[in-house]
Amino acid sequence: MKKVTELKCGAIIVSCAFDHRVADGYSLDMFLVAWAEFAQFKRISNTPSFRRSILNPRRPPHYNAIFDNMYLPLSSLPPPPSCEDQLHSRIYYIQQESLNRLQSEASSKETRISKFQSLTAFIWKLFAHEADNDVNQTSRMGVVVGGRRFMTGNSEKESSMLENHFGNILSIPYGEMNYSCLQTMSLNEVANEVHSFVTEATTEEHFRGLVDWVELHRPEPAVAKIYFKLQETDGDAIVASSGQGLPINDMNFGWGKPEFGSYHFPWGGQTGYIITMPSASKNGDWVVYMHLKQKHLDLIEKNTPYVSNPLTHYYLRL
């Protein structure tokens, strides 16, 4: 589904909806750039590959038992809770100076933590101080990891098809700690935890194993465990995703380069969702879309104004 809307002020909004069961954000980016190029009668610069066999399972399929802790068949889900807090969407921006400061605080001499993992750790630790938390409950933080850059083909052609594969090559590793631990740990310690569970998923074997896990559980659909509360000790959970690859400045449909671009993910579950994107201004700032409970949005806005600057038309210079 796609939509083009012209506002009274003269601004034009281009939007596109897609289903994560069909494609991931990388695939969506390829589509949007191709759409913009087609609109200007240009040659498509990055031809997508629809060859599904590139992700065929191994024979025989085999996987690490870690996937049994990350995913589960739909039939294993408990009944949905009768009453849960509604999630709300907000868009903020974070200035480059604040990102640099977070990265400095999260890193050590031994390990330099990325800006994205630093922000993820910061939010995980911040939410542990929410007043209603039961310190004995477990907080879970997941990170979306794209698999294309970790997978190789048997030939240059196969490697190219993997890189341009139109589909879904994602994994969602996550960490869990009780609130009391998160409250006492330093930002650097929390960042090391994030870095550790993300690194475990950044190998070809991880993604080949995930393909095999899905194959061995077919035809039943499966879901990531972090999207659901499965035990009484499960507290709030959040999934963070990096959309820094969003090619905003390549999405010129003939009306000039965009002033703003963002993903939007109101998926209807009870797990919070955060995704970061580059600012179209190219000044090093980030745009951050958050889909969270109201108490978490309040916590961010009241305690970290330098991280939660509301995105306004003044910032976008519209």
Residues catalogued as catalytic: 20, 252
CA–CA separation, 315 vs 72, rounded Å?
A: 43
**How would you classify the pairing of strands 272-278 and 234-242?**
parallel
CA–CA separation, 238 vs 292, rounded Å?
A: 8
CA distances from 224 to 25, 49, 147 (A): 17, 26, 16
DSSP states along 71-111 = EEEGGGPPPPPS--PPEEEEEEEE-HHHHHHHHHHH--SS-
Torsion over CA of 66, 71, 75 and 77, rounded to 10 degrees?
110
Neighbours of 305 (CB within 10 A): 11
Amino acid identity at 311: L
Contact 78, 230 (CB under 8 A): yes
Q: Which residue has the tokens 């390549």?
A: 250
Nearest alpha-carbon partner for 201 in 171, 222, 241, 226: 171
